Amino acid sequence: MRALLAIVAIVFAVAVYYVANRPADEVPPAPEATQEAAAGQPSPEPTIGLIDDERIKNAESEPGNWLAFGRTYEEQRFSPLTQINRDTVADLGLAWFKDMGTNRALEATPIVVDGIMFFTTTWSRVYAVRATTGEVLWTYDPLVPREWGRRACCDVVNRGVAVYNGRVYVGSLDGRLIALDAGTGEKVWEVDTIIDRDRFYTITGAPRAAGGKIFIGNGGAEFGVRGYVTAYDAETGDQVWRFYTVPGDPSLPFEHPEMELAAGTWKGGNWWEVGGGGTVWNSIVYDPDFNSVYLGVGNGAPWTRVIRSPGGGDNLFLSSIVALDADTGTMKWYYQTTPGDNWDYTAVQDMALADMEVDGEMRKVLLQAPKNGFFYVIDRSNGKLLRANKFATVTWATHVDMETGRPVENPELDYLEQEQWVLPGPLGAHNWQAMSVDVEAGLVYLPAQDNPLIYGMNDEWKQTGLYKRNPGGWNTGLEFGRIAQLFLDNVDAQPTPKGYLKAFDPLTGRDAWVVEIPHYWNGGVLGTAGGLVFQGDALGMFSAYDKATGEALWQFNTYTSMLAPPITFEIDGTQYVSILTGNGGGDLFSGEAMDPVATPASETYGNYGRLLVFKLGGDAELPIPSPVDKSIPEQQLAEVSEDEIALGERTYNTYCAVCHGLVVRSGGAIADLRRMTAETHQSFNQIVLGGAYAGKGMASFSDVLTEEDAERIHHYVRARAHEDREHSLGNTDDPRLTWLN
């Protein structure tokens, strides 16, 4: 704790001295706001041409449009446009921007077709705007029940829509797949994709469309669910097929033959009660060369394999890339990146398809940099592993054995007996923030990170050998209840978190160049034939780098942080680059940055959900915000024992830290509880147990917490606030500060 406090003191001394609360979270819309025309004068009907399979297959013939999630079916996110290039980029300026009315993360990749931009914001809301001006043509709000916010591990985000055959498709946070009329935004059909609504399933990923079908998965493995992907008829919403990624209750028949194969790799334990995991929450890629759909499959539930499958086994299809026949959902091949996943190493990260010469032979390959830190090159015709090079610091495994295709784990970092810092941690060496593939240069522009976690087994399991599912919270099998203590007890051995933009050669494993970014959690990437690599970062800079050298040729200060990938398009002879801003997503847990040099702009200036669109000669200006007030009010401290506070800390870490941040320090997207007003303190139990803020996404926890629990959490929060306040004021001799030692 002392080491931490020393850092805190430095942070306060160096950082700007802040004054007010964070912007309040957005207010939910009135129910009648489901469908609204643009304010003011009526807009002419947008007329977009039909996007069908042929048009997406031939996307290279219309580089001005961004027709699909990764631009084309190959999902390389590399644009042939060249008007904005090394020589002209200095003249790039803001053409227009739009405040999206949210201070939580925006993660979407917009689709741009025939002058119209389609994108999503928080709570799965859909927008169609004129891409040259931002004029709103229509909006659609699926009215996600706000209590679903508690069911989302990683913020109330959405990564975008599919536009296909005159429709716009969106998955809602509460698990519905919705088809809208592309011209009007009116709902055409809606289906419930969730097999068990008592489980904490969510959808944050973009649907994919091909062959008359819409493909959608879901998230929720941390809470304990079973993963699957469903294909729906694009026209009617009828289910065509469903592929489960992990086996279910062994007393029930297998849903499809692949489940029999998978079940043989799960041994002992009651994984189906927790759920097993394997959610496909991000990447689903259609391959027209083979009429395949590739699923990027997530981590196990629980994370720890000794609880999940105590008899060992690979636990198929966790952390795997699974190739299915797009028409039938029958499996063609699979490759498992992390057999017996023990670390939350999802393989849901974006997959790109390419034709590439490997060892003197042209191959149709699939490229993926999943969380586990190895960059995979796989032959799409048969699933054969061609390369597996490390692209970041990896300590859990020494290498991948190319004979067997299996990683060789590092036994020294087994955390069964002893807590261990492991790299990568659960945020991965690469997460959902998309990469860009430059086939001509043979390089991938990759947002990578070194970001460790201290892994340690669940205390109750260590004492009793038993693990009981927690239906209202996380089910990782790790010791989240006292993770702050683990962290602080071992902080001296913590590897420093860092972020990188890398130009990485997937065949040799070498970096052509590396840009170091002080904060690890940065945005997705776009490459262009103009010789540029675009990325928005945590510190607020939207940058264009020379793709040959990594030199920053242009930077624009957004005064907030970015996660979403930029895109580019061209309308009437003008090339545009756009990006959505706003921080959060899977990194709410880490909370406030400890190092002033690595402090995200969203913490310093506020978290602004905006759409920014740039062109050469653009001269629009963003308002420059004042630094956020970070002062902590004086606390009314009750006379309570250290034990009470320790119990409050444990409960806070189990239920609250995942959103409100480790040691009660929020990263900015969610309210910082150290800065609660007197009124909020008064209503604490009504908020935590009574659901008073359910409309803001803070649902009641009365199903898992008692009044006594809530009071203990409250004492702990006050004690932490008091501690940080006193240190910020240079008061270190208050005896009550020893409470938290």
- DSSP assigned state of 12: H
Instruction: Tell me the window of 342-350, 481-489, 506-514, 723-731 that interacts with Ca ion (CB under 5 A).
Output: 342-350
Residue 344 binds Ca ion (CB under 5 A):
yes
Nearer to Ca ion, 112 or 154 (CB): 154
Least separation in angstroms between CB 468 and Ca ion: 20
Which H or E element spans position 7? helix 2-14
* Rg from Cα positions in the chain: 24
**Smallest distance from Ca ion to CB 153, Å:** 7
Rounded to a whole number of angstroms, the minimum distance from the CB of residue 476 to Ca ion is: 9
Nearer to Ca ion, 344 or 711 (CB): 344
- Residue pair 286/313 in contact (Cβ under 8 Å)? The answer is no
CB of 586 to Ca ion, least distance (A): 8
Alpha helices in 293-424 (DSSP H): 305-308
Q: How many residues bind Ca ion (CB under 5 A)?
A: 2
In single-letter form, the type of residue at position 80 comes to P
CB of 353 to Ca ion, least distance (A): 24
Cα–Cα dist 473/153, whole Å: 10
- Pick between residue 125 and residue 159 the one whose CB is nearest to Ca ion: 159
Compute the distance between CA of residue 612 and CA of residue 614 in angstroms, rounded to an integer: 7
**Given the complex with Ca ion, which of 334 and 474 has the nearer CB atom?**
474
How many C-alpha atoms does 485 have within 13 Å on its Cβ side? Answer: 18
Classify 673 as helix, strand or coil: helix
Task: Confirm or reject binding of residue 587 to Ca ion (CB under 5 A).
Answer: no
Cα diameter, the chain: 74
Tokens of 600: 């995200």
Q: Taking a C-beta distance cutoff of 8 angstroms, is the pair 554, 89 a contact? A: yes
Query: What binding mask, one character per residue, do residues 404-443 give for Ca ion by CB under 5 A, x or -?
Result: ----------------------------------------
For Ca ion, the closer of residues 153 and 259 by Cβ is 153
- The smaller minimum CB distance to Ca ion, of residues 344 and 350, is found at 344
Segment interacting with Ca ion (CB under 5 A) among 344-352, 380-388, 499-507, 663-671 = 344-352
Active site residue 587: no
Two tokens at 732?
A: 């270190």
Q: How far is the CB of 220 from Ca ion (least distance, A)?
A: 9
Cα–Cα distances in angstroms (integers) from residue 702 to residues 147, 471, 707, in the given order:
12, 12, 8
From the list 372, 473, 465, 485, the residue with the least C-alpha distance to 416 is 465
What is residue 66's DSSP assignment? B
Nearer Cβ to Ca ion, position 287 or 344?
344
Cβ closer to Ca ion: 218 or 560?
Answer: 218
Rounded distance, CA 650 to CA 669, Å?
23
Per-residue binder mask for Ca ion (CB under 5 A), 285-304, x = binder: --------------x-----
Residue closer to Ca ion (CB basis): 373 or 536 = 373
Q: Is 479 in the site for Ca ion (CB under 5 A)?
A: no
In this chain, which stretch among 341-349, 366-374, 688-696, 729-737 interacts with Ca ion, using CB under 5 A? 341-349
CB of 426 to Ca ion, least distance (A): 6
Q: Which stretch binds Ca ion (CB under 5 A): 336-344, 452-460, 593-601, 639-647?
A: 336-344
Cβ burial of 732 (10 Å; 0-12, 13-18, 19+) is exposed
State the DSSP H helix or E strand holding residue 351, giving kind and residue range, or none if neither: strand 351-358
Write the interaction track for Ca ion spanning residues 252-291; mark x where CB under 5 A is met and - where it is not. Answer: ----------------------------------------
Structure tokens at 497: 């978190």
* Range in contact with Ca ion (rule: CB under 5 A) among 328-336, 337-345, 489-497, 709-717: 337-345
Nearest residue to 188 via CA among 145, 140, 143, 146 = 140
Q: How far is the CB of 221 from Ca ion (least distance, A)?
A: 5
Residue with tokens 């945005």: 523
Find the Cα–Cα–Cα–Cα dihedral 410, 411, 416, 419, rounded to 10°: -60
Q: Which stretch binds Ca ion (CB under 5 A): 185-193, 343-351, 510-518, 529-537?
A: 343-351
CA 345 to chain centre: 13
Record the tokens describing residue 516, joined without a space. Answer: 């170091």
Find the shortest distance in angstroms from Cβ 194 to Ca ion.
Answer: 18
Q: Which residue has the tokens 């306060």?
A: 12
727/741 Cα distance (integer angstroms): 14
| C-beta of 207 vs 302, nearer to Ca ion | 302
**679 with 603: CB under 8 angstroms?**
no
Supply 288's token pair: 């027209």
Q: In the complex with Ca ion, which residue's Cβ is closer, 279 or 578? A: 279
Q: How far is the CB of 342 from Ca ion (least distance, A)?
A: 13
Q: Which is nearer to Ca ion, 153 or 501 (CB)?
A: 153
Return the range that interacts with Ca ion (CB under 5 A); candidates 72-80, 192-200, 338-346, 611-619.
Answer: 338-346
Q: Contact, 118 vs 185, CB < 8 A?
A: no
Residue closest to 164 by CA, chosen among 214, 124, 218: 214
Question: Looking at beta carbons, which pairs linking 465-470 to residues 24 or more positions away fall under 8 Å?
Answer: 467/274, 467/302, 467/307, 469/224, 469/273, 469/274, 470/224, 470/654, 470/704
Report the distance separating Cα 613 and Cα 534, nearest Å: 13
* Binding residues for Ca ion restricted to 119-158, rule: CB under 5 A: none
Nearest approach, Cβ of residue 222 and Ca ion (Å):
5
Catalytic: which of 25, 287, 344, 587?
344
- Looking at this protein, which amino acid is placed at residue 134? G
Taking the complex as a whole, the smallest distance from the CB of residue 358 to Ca ion amounts, in Å, to 31
Catalytic residues: 344
Binding residues vs Ca ion (CB under 5 A): 299, 344
